Amino acid sequence: MATVIAILVAVFADRYAQYVPGERLIAGLRSSAWLNTYLFKLTNLLDKLGIKQNYLVALTTFLPLCIALLLLKLLFGLLFGTIGTFLFIVIALLYFLGNRYVEPNLTEFVLVHETSFGVLFWFSILGPTGALLYWFLVVSKQSLVVMESSNSSLHVAFVKLHALAAWIPARITGFLYALVGNFSPGFKAWMGCASNPSKQSSQVLQECGEAAVDAATAGDDVRLVARAFVAWVVLSILIVIFK
197 burial (CB, 10 Å; 0-12 / 13-18 / 19+) is exposed
The CA-based diameter of the chain, rounded to the nearest angstrom, is: 58
Q: What is the pTM of this model?
A: 0.93
Residue 113 to residue 121: CA distance in whole angstroms: 10
- Quick count: other Cβ atoms within 10 Å of Cβ 185? 16
> Digits of tens for pLDDT over the chain (243 positions)?
889 999 999 999 888 776 666 667 777 778 888 999 999 999 999 988 888 899 999 999 999 999 999 999 999 999 998 899 999 999 999 999 977 777 777 888 999 999 999 999 999 999 999 999 999 999 999 888 988 888 889 999 999 999 999 999 999 999 999 999 999 999 999 999 999 999 999 999 999 999 999 776 767 888 999 999 999 999 999 999 987
